[in-house]
Amino acid sequence: MSLSTRSPDLEVEQLPQLLQAARSRYLAGERSLAVIKPLSQALRAILERNIDTQLSQRGGYLQRLVEAYYRLFPRCLEHLSRDQLQQQAVQKTVQRLLQIPATIIQDEYDRLNRGQYNQPLKQLVLAFSRPALANRNPSPQLTEAECFLAFFIQCLRQELGATVLLSPQFRQEYRDLLRTVCLGSSDPEQCQSNLTGWLWEAMKSFDPLKPFGATGHGRPTFEAWARTVVSNKLADEKRKLLKREADELLFYDNRALQVFQDRYQAAPPEVQREIDPKACAQLITIVQTEITDPRIRASTARLRQHIAQLLGWTVEHTRDTHQQVRRILGRYVQSTRSLNICSTDGNQEWIDNYPDTRTLPTSNGQGVECMAEFLNDPQTPTWVRDWCERRRTQAEIARELFVSQPTISRCLGREYRLWLYRKFFQDPQIPQWMRRWYETQSIPSPHQRRQTRREIHPDYARGLCTAKQIDEQIEATLAQWCEHNGIYYLP
């Protein structure tokens, strides 16, 4: 390990130069492996260091990383030796980085150097370059070289993940997972064709060495992770579908103006306040009468440019107005067409990509202390607080969680609910069995889960009631408990 502690490690510091050199040769049209050799050798030398002395017997970081993929996906990788996989992944990742524009790498640098952004990744990188500062919170500013190393590690994980995901064994072994996660979508077939791509993208932030629990990623935690990725992506897909449907109404239905006006009238005042009905009506009319060419309509950018030109608006204003039109027409689409788009989200009005967060009763102090308690709870992730205090942008947090920005409210809700249950079970008045029952959720095997539940609840064991009924009973107790204690209840 490098002895330098405070000033960044020399080997790490030379990375940008090596990248620059390789890139110049690449841009000059050289495509041989010699182009990337110095850079990949340097990266391997760095990553092969042992940064965790407690685990010294298990070898350097790169070796442990590769090993973690083998342990998690043994059959998917059996056609490759560890050395092959390691070499191939490093090589491909370097090749890819040569083709990434400096501006994008620069954006990544800026992001990494913002306060709380992706602390685990920063700490990992510092462990290579400035071990003495690795555990400092907040982390010191990263140098350009350190940022590059961080970016490289993310892309390397993605490459290793891709090798797994694209193996035929993966599709075979995880067939059930792949099938069941798609069933919740409105178009399972389409979902299935997009699935691998979604997982592959998310692999960038998947760290097999830093799992959910202390024991490392096992198949159940990987599956839970995959389900989360997919459900977030499905929410995105629904949003897109709604946008498309709203546009189709705008293009093809001559009732669009009427529908818009009806829906606008019916909208709550908070929503109305954010809509400019005159501008919207102008936009609908001009699209329906003047912009009938489907070639223009087939591209949102073109469509907006034409609207702007015809109405003498700025593109920015056109964009805003178009979004407003989509928002109101979307409400209509959602309530009238059997799009099946609400099925998995229950009652949630998922058109929340158009922030409707103002339709709220004012909090008359009710539950406010509990919010502070929630925010201060050590088990509440730091991003929740960062979001509430606007310490980081929504986009940043969304990236970290690998969700779309609108989905953040869902994640918030989840964290809040987890906290509610923690608090609820701390109350000695709450029967012990409820807690034990609740905890059976985390038992991965359905068989074992049922078995444990039978031991917990005699009526369930005897088949007198279903698991769902017991869940509902606990949920109802939670709601009452919240009301009784003046804690804000979130269903």
Query: Per CB under 8 A, which of residues 279..308 are in contact with another protein?
Result: 293-302, 304-305, 308
> Which residue lies nearer to another protein by CB, 21 or 298?
298
Using CB under 8 A, which of 475, 476, 485, 486 touches another protein?
475
For the CB of residue 247, give the shortest distance to another protein in the complex, in Å: 8
Tell me the closest approach of the beta carbon of residue 346 to another protein, in angstroms.
Answer: 5
Place of tokens 């891709």: 162
Contact window for another protein (CB under 8 A) among 11-19, 62-70, 79-87, 441-449: 441-449
Compute the least distance from the CB of residue 256 to another protein, in Å: 15
Q: How far is CA 98 from CA 20, 21, 24, 66, in A?
A: 9, 10, 9, 23
Binding to another protein (CB under 8 A) within 161-200 occurs at 162, 165-166, 189-190, 193-194, 196-197, 200
Residues from 36 through 95 that contact another protein (CB under 8 A): none
State the Cα–Cα distance between residues 452 and 432, nearest whole angstrom. 14
Distance separating alpha carbons of residues 474 and 477, to the nearest angstrom: 5
Residue 435 engages another protein in binding (rule: CB under 8 A) = no
The Cβ of residue 460 has, within 10 Å, a number of other Cβ atoms equal to 18
Return the exposure string of 123-160: e unless at least 16 CB atoms fall within 10 Å of the residue's CB, then b: ebbbbbbbbebbeeeebeebbbbbbbbbbbbbbbbbbb
Token pair listed for 452: 């444990």
Size of the site for another protein (CB under 8 A): 108
Q: Least Å distance between CB 136 and another protein? A: 20
Our CB check for another protein shows the closer of 53 and 347 to be 347
- The Cα 130–Cα 446 span in angstroms is 46
Q: Which is nearer to another protein, 207 or 356 (CB)?
A: 356
Tokens of 337: 């067409």
Cα–Cα distances in Å, from 479 out to 156, 333, 360, 376, 469?
46, 33, 20, 22, 15
Minimum CB separation of residue 364 from another protein in Å reads 11
330: closest CA among 351, 353, 349, 303? 351
Candidates 4, 224, 453, 477; binder of another protein (CB under 8 A) is: 453
Give residue 427's identity as a one-letter amino acid code.
D
> Looking at beta carbons only, is 257 or 467 nearer to another protein?
467
Instruction: Provide, rounded to whole angstroms, the least separation between the CB of residue 297 and another protein.
Output: 6
Establish if 477 lies at the interface with another protein (CB under 8 A).
Answer: no
Please, where are the H alpha helices in 216-350?
219-252, 256-266, 269-272, 277-289, 294-297, 300-311, 315-336
- Contact with another protein (CB under 8 A): which of 25, 37, 64, 391? 391
Site for another protein in 327-386 (CB under 8 A): 344-348, 352-353, 356-361, 363, 367-368, 371-372, 374-375, 384-385
How near is the Cβ of 269 to another protein at its closest, in Å? 16
Subset of 397-426 contacting another protein (CB under 8 A) = 398, 404-406, 408-410, 412-414, 416-418
User: Nearer to another protein by C-beta: 71 or 358?
Assistant: 358
What SS3 state is found at 461?
Answer: helix
Give least dist CB 224 to another protein, A. 11
Min dist. Cβ of residue 101 to another protein (A): 4
- Provide the minimum distance between the beta carbon of 300 and another protein in the complex, in angstroms, as a whole number: 5
Query: Cα separation of 38 and 61, whole Å?
Result: 20
Residue 128 to residue 61: CA distance in whole angstroms: 10
Decide if 76 contacts 162 (C-beta within 8 A).
no
* Cβ(89)–Cβ(159) below 8 Å: yes
**Which 224-283 residues touch another protein, going by CB under 8 A?**
231, 240, 243-244, 247-248, 251-252
**According to CB under 8 A, which residues from 17 to 36 bind another protein?**
29, 31
**Smallest distance from another protein to CB 46, Å:** 24
Q: Taking the CB of residue 240, how many other CB atoms lie within 10 A of it? A: 11
Distance CA 352, CA 407 (A): 8
Given the complex with another protein, which of 300 and 340 has the nearer CB atom?
Answer: 300
x/- binding map, residues 113-152, to another protein, per CB under 8 A?
Answer: --x-------------------------------------
Choose which of 53, 103, 426, 429 interacts with another protein (CB under 8 A).
103
Residue 212 as a binder of another protein (CB under 8 A): the answer is no
What distance in Å separates the CA atoms of residue 33 and residue 98, rounded to the nearest whole number?
A: 12
Q: What share of the chain is helix, strand, coil (3-state, %, to 5)?
A: 70, 0, 30
